[in-house]
Amino acid sequence: LPQPADWAALSVEAQTGDPDSMLELYRTALRLRRDNPALGDGTMTWLDAPEGVLAFSREPGFVCVVNLSADPYEPPAHSALLLASGPLENGRVGPDQAVWLTV
Q: Residue ranges of the domains in the chain?
A: 1-35, 42-103
pLDDT value of residue 67: 98
**What strand order describes the sheet that includes 80-84?**
44-46, 53-58, 62-67, 97-102, 80-84
Q: In CATH terms, is domain 42-103 a member of 2.60.120.10?
A: no
* DSSP symbol at 85: S
Distance CA 31, CA 34 (A): 5
The pLDDT value recorded for residue 92 is: 97
Residue 56 has pLDDT above 90, yes or no: yes
Candidate from 7-16, 43-52, 76-85, 88-97 with smallest mean pLDDT: 7-16
| For residues 61-79, average pLDDT | 96
